[in-house]
Amino acid sequence: MPSDAPAPQPASWRIALPHSTAAVPIARALVRTALADLDTPADSDTAELLTAELVANAVEHTDGSGPIELVVELLASGCQVEVHDRDPGPPGDLSGLLPGSVQDPWQEHGRGLLLIRALSSACGHRPTEHGKAVWFTLPSGRTPAGPTAPRD
């Protein structure tokens, strides 16, 4: 007997993107839709920004021999976004600047990974069967309801 209850929503998506700059706005829209449709507590503006940085890096720094893959996973504590590409080489330094080095404020490139490190709760990369995945996680944006201070 068919049920009238809606089918459960998936907790993750895996989507192939073109290896072109057109992938960036597509990825942003996909992340925004995924987070909005499931009413996830993660900050969708930050998720969009960081996703755009990862996808733009994959387009710019890989040879284009295959598609870029976007993976969005909803977690009980927020969300995780991964961007897969065919280049096995690690991305720039996701762990931070080397001791004693300073970010050049006039440099046109290199701020994306800084944003990812600063705005995510965790980030990194890992090898995959066909290249690598670069990822970040964002925590829940909701805070537990509690007593508030009286207003003057």
Helix H, strand E, coil C: the string for 36-104 is HHCCCCECHHHHHHHHHHHHHHHHHHCCCCCCEEEEEEEECCEEEEEEEECCCCCCCCCCCCCCCCCCC
- pLDDT tens track for 10-34: 588 899 999 999 999 999 999 998 8
pTM (2 decimals)? 0.78
- Specify the CATH number for 12-95+111-139; select among 3.40.190.290, 3.30.420.240, 3.30.565.10, 3.90.180.10: 3.30.565.10
Regions in the chain scoring below 50 on pLDDT: 143-152
Number of H helices, E strands in the chain: 3, 5
Q: For residue 2, what pLDDT is reported?
A: 58
pLDDT confidence of residue 151: 47
pLDDT of residue 144: 41
For residues 26 and 17, is the Cβ–Cβ distance under 8 A?
Answer: yes
